Structure 1
Amino acid sequence: MSNRHVKVAVIQAAPILFDKQSAMDKIASMTREAAGQGANLIVFPEVFLPGYPRGLSFGTRVGSRNADGRKDWERYWASSIDIPGAETGILGELAKELGVYLVIGVVERDREFSTGTLYNSMVYIGPDGALLGKHHKLVPTGAERLFWGQGDGSTLTVIDTPFGRIGGLICWENYMPLARMAMYAQGIDIYLAPTADARDTWQATIRHIACEGRCFVISCNQFATKASYPTDLACYEDIKDDADMLSRGGSAIVGPLGEYVVEPLENQEGILIATLDLSQVVQSRFDFDVTGHYSRPDVFQLIVNDKKQEVVRTVGIQN
């Protein structure tokens, strides 16, 4: 790694769903493999720890929930993590040992907000083992609203590194133009877009973001099959008759003019490796700078509320 170049790794894989240890073991092994190939920045998919519950209903219909679904939900809650917590401590030790930046999608029990709500989060860990920040997904997509809460503007995180500023949004947050603009305004150079969307239309999205933000885009998805699902889940019946491949992947790396640095990887587990030349970011903004000469603040302005939203605030009352 130099100040203008960084080798990045994109992990396309899936753990055993609801199995925290499976996810931690896979993170450790694949991080070591990527670091062994010289990667300095290693990115894991959306909610890799402890997995994306694609196809599961948690026993829910409009107007009702059943007892078995609640038990599956409790199992998901138990396999989620605290930030900071025991798991981020272990991941910090791993990052420090290997001298890498780690960015991992996790399901988080954020006890600052609630003891019952889970959040779809992205956690950033530095090569010194320090917890650098996190991001809560602002709007869970579709049925995801059943099991994840909404984030707020306090975690629109961008991290300074020796090779540039990194940050990002999760899955369909990337369809929110104002959220993207909030990230661009922080001078993002490497934009992370972990996702659970394996459709062809997602590729158009990440290439557009690269052109719009004049930044590198790292898109990271899981490759998942039914073999990664515990068959003793009450709601396993929801996917029993589905095709064996539940997510084909589609992870890719895109350059700041919208071209693929690494083409999408599909239908298999794997690691994408690329060396990014950050001087290309500066060069790409010569003719289009979304927060500079193309911003027109005399016509358009965006207000971002970056304050943590609190349900209860205690204030002193003076006599």
Structure 2
Amino acid sequence: MAAGTVRIAAVQAAPVILEAEASVSKALRLLGEAAGQGVKLAVFPETFIPLYPSEVWAHEAARFDGFDELWTRLWANSVDVPGPHIDRFIEACATHNMYCVLGVNERESARPGSLYNTMILLGPEGLLWKHRKLMPTMHERLFHGVGYGRDLNVIETTLGRVGGLICWENRMPLARYEIYRQGVQIWAAPTADDSDGWISTMSHIAIESGAFVISVPQYIPRSAFPDDFPVRLPKDGPALGRGGAAIFEPLDGRAIAGPLYDEEGIVIADIDLNRTLAAKRWFDVVGHYSREDALYPPALPHPAAANAHSGAASTSPRRDTTNPGHTS
């Protein structure tokens, strides 16, 4: 487990909507700006390329007709992973000797028709990790397929152990636990959630994981949308996202940089990874403060299955407290 001081950043910016090439160029420019300030790990928002599929036009997406233009443009400007757009980021990471977590709409050109909400980790070594969001949130299911769960990984880098989850995956306890089990030190959380409640979620995860958390919500003002955007936008208020990029520390969960609202910017913090060791000394949810034997035995049956066999009305199986981990 790495220790020492690392400069990390949350890059809050709007994409060039429905234009992959221009969005990649903007992201690379911002990556260079971050590198110029000594940043070694930069995290971008959820589905930065080429746009987050918002609930504000989900009613259009749910129709059988009238949505083809947006879908076609979204597909055409989504990203193959690996692919030529990703190669440009790898080259930039090698040039700047840094790492980048990037949110994209991922497509598979060999199997057109489905998109995925994907987070990737890139570094001087290349493409290190690709994670597809396990469960698209509500309106996202009109756009994205489900992930498969075998990519819930933490990656050992020269900076430390990097992992994370996408948006409301961060509220899935078992998904979090899988990341915790792998000793995460730096947690990336690209998201579309700009609510005050999201800040509380990030603070909680920082404490629970014993890791530094980089949260990057969407910031997309109405002015970012092109005149030919093919779906109607709300008449009043921001079209999508006020931002709220912030970095949280593990001992007490407080924000040590940000949150930044209503503007583009790079939120930077210098973190001491020894703080993750100190946090885990106090509260190690997968170590000395864990009771998997009592709370999470692999053989624990699903309550519905247990009730079907026993005929019991209880909503959970009986537990034999004289033999932890055994159910009857």
| TM-score relative to the length of structure 2 | 0.86
User: Which residue in the other structure is 2:115 paired with?
Assistant: 118
| Structure 1 contact 9–41 (Cα < 8 Å) conserved | yes
User: Which residue in the other structure is 2:306 paired with?
Assistant: none
Please tell me the residue identity of whatever aligns with 1:56. W
Identity %: 44
CA deviation after TM superposition for structure 1 residue 6, in Å? 0.8
Please tell me the residue identity of whatever aligns with 1:291. V
Q: Whole-Å Cα distance in 2 between the matches of residues 158 and 242 of structure 1? A: 41
Report which stretch shifted further, 69-78 or 294-303: 294-303
User: Which residue in the other structure is 2:94 paired with?
Assistant: 96
Q: Whole-Å Cα distance in 1 between the matches of residues 240 and 69 of structure 2? A: 23
User: Which residue in the other structure is 1:8 paired with?
Assistant: 8
User: Which residue in the other structure is 2:82 paired with?
Assistant: 84
Q: Whole-Å Cα distance in 2 between the matches of residues 242 and 175 of structure 1? A: 30
Q: Whole-Å Cα distance in 1 between the matches of residues 223 and 32 of structure 2? A: 24
| Structure 1 contact 216–281 (Cα < 8 Å) conserved | yes
CA deviation after TM superposition for structure 1 residue 71, in Å? 2.0
User: Cα deviation per residue 1:61-110 (whole Å; 9 max; x = unaligned)?
Assistant: 4xx411x3022101101100101101011111111111110110011013
1:265 aligns with 2:256: no
CA deviation after TM superposition for structure 1 residue 127, in Å? 2.2
CA deviation after TM superposition for structure 1 residue 3, in Å? 4.6
The total of aligned residue pairs comes to 295
- Please list, as runs of the form range in 1=range in 2, the aligned pairs for 1:1-319 lying within 5 A after superposition: 3-54=3-54, 55-57=56-58, 59-61=60-62, 64-66=63-65, 68-110=66-108, 114-128=111-125, 130-235=126-231, 237=232, 239-244=233-238, 246-257=240-251, 258-301=253-296
Report which stretch shifted further, 88-97 or 292-301: 292-301
CA deviation after TM superposition for structure 1 residue 232, in Å? 1.5
Q: Whole-Å Cα distance in 2 between the matches of residues 195 and 234 of structure 1? A: 24
CA deviation after TM superposition for structure 1 residue 167, in Å? 0.6
User: Which residue in the other structure is 2:302 paired with?
Assistant: none
Q: Whole-Å Cα distance in 2 between the matches of residues 178 and 110 of structure 1? A: 28
| Structure 1 contact 218–253 (Cα < 8 Å) conserved | yes
Q: Secondary structure at the match of 2:227?
A: coil
| Structure 2 contact 103–120 (Cα < 8 Å) conserved | yes
Unmatched tracts of structure 2, length 5 or more: 299-328
Q: Whole-Å Cα distance in 1 between the matches of residues 64 and 229 of structure 2? A: 16
Tell which structure's C-alpha radius of gyration is larger: 2
User: Which residue in the other structure is 2:315 paired with?
Assistant: none
Please tell me the residue identity of whatever aligns with 1:230. P
Please tell me the residue identity of whatever aligns with 2:235. D
Please tell me the residue identity of whatever aligns with 1:192. A
Q: Secondary structure at the match of 2:9?
A: strand
Unmatched tracts of structure 1, length 5 or more: 304-319
Q: Secondary structure at the match of 1:65?
A: coil
**Structure 1 stretches (4+) deviating beyond 4 angstroms?**
none
CA deviation after TM superposition for structure 1 residue 111, in Å? 5.3
User: Cα deviation per residue 1:283-305 (whole Å; 9 max; x = unaligned)?
Assistant: 111121000011112112376xx
Q: Whole-Å Cα distance in 1 between the matches of residues 41 and 165 of structure 2? A: 17
User: Which residue in the other structure is 2:304 paired with?
Assistant: none
Q: Whole-Å Cα distance in 2 between the matches of residues 3 and 283 of structure 1? A: 11
